[in-house]
Amino acid sequence: MPKAVVPEEKRRRRRPTKSGTVLSERLIVETALRMLREHGSAGLTARRLGLALDADPSTLYRYFRGMDDLTLAIGDALIGEALRGWEPTGQWRADLRAVGLRIHEAYVAHPQAAVLTTSRVTGRANELAADEAVLDILRRAGFPLPDTVRIYHAFIDQTLAFAALDAASLALPSESLRADEDMWRSTYARVPRTTHPRIAEAAPLLATRMVNSAYPTALEMLLDSAAAELEALHG
């Protein structure tokens, strides 16, 4: 049975840690993000996190039910980072584009954390705020509710799927990442036209494009489709 989380007003330690730090949920999440960046997911354990915070690992359970609960908090923090400073302009396409690019950027800025969290549903404040924002953008644009939910579904899943794909590449050891990128400039560039004419003719362009994320292109294609639907609805 998961441990009960201590109520907010009772979470704060009465005394600072030995290093003079007073723990908070935000500090724990920020420290966990740093550990993920430096050591990967295998390096994030309650024991190591406690050492990094100069606190007994059991103290973490005053804030989180377990490491999985902490994982959800990390994911929600990334969404909060994406939304920070964003305000809707009333132009639905520009607003949806901005939200998508911000979410994607926030995840790929923390690739190890993104690999852990892109497939999770946190149910926390920042995730709910992002969902509310996307649904509101679509409804104010004039999409009927069923179409709003359908486009929202495609938009969110597309954004997170590309974030997961791009983060997984960035999380690779640097040698592996370079080897993958070099493959487009070496092996693909040498494919014979006699056996693979389409790859051969596209090889120079593939070498340029395939090392970058396709998310901006895919996002524009989704927005084009949604705009065409909206025009058909309202003439």
Q: Which residues of the chain have pLDDT under 50?
A: 1-3, 11-14
Q: 114-132: per-residue pLDDT in tens?
A: 999 999 999 999 999 999 9
> Tokens 């441990």 correspond to what residue?
3
In the chain the first and final C-alpha atoms are separated, in Å, by 56
Distance CA 81, CA 26 (A): 12
- Name the residue among 36, 50, 207, 11 with its Cα closest to residue 116: 36
Instruction: Burial-class residue 21 by CB neighbours within 10 Å (0-12, 13-18, 19+).
Output: middle
pLDDT for the residue numbered 63: 93
pLDDT for the residue numbered 42: 85
pLDDT for the residue numbered 153: 98
DSSP state of 171: T
pLDDT for the residue numbered 73: 97
Distance CA 130, CA 79 (A): 7
pLDDT for the residue numbered 110: 95
- Domains within the chain, CATH numbers bracketed: 8-65 (1.10.10), 89-234 (1.10.357.10)
Decide: 91 and 137 in contact? Cβ < 8 Å: no
Distance CA 213, CA 5 (A): 39
pLDDT for the residue numbered 59: 86
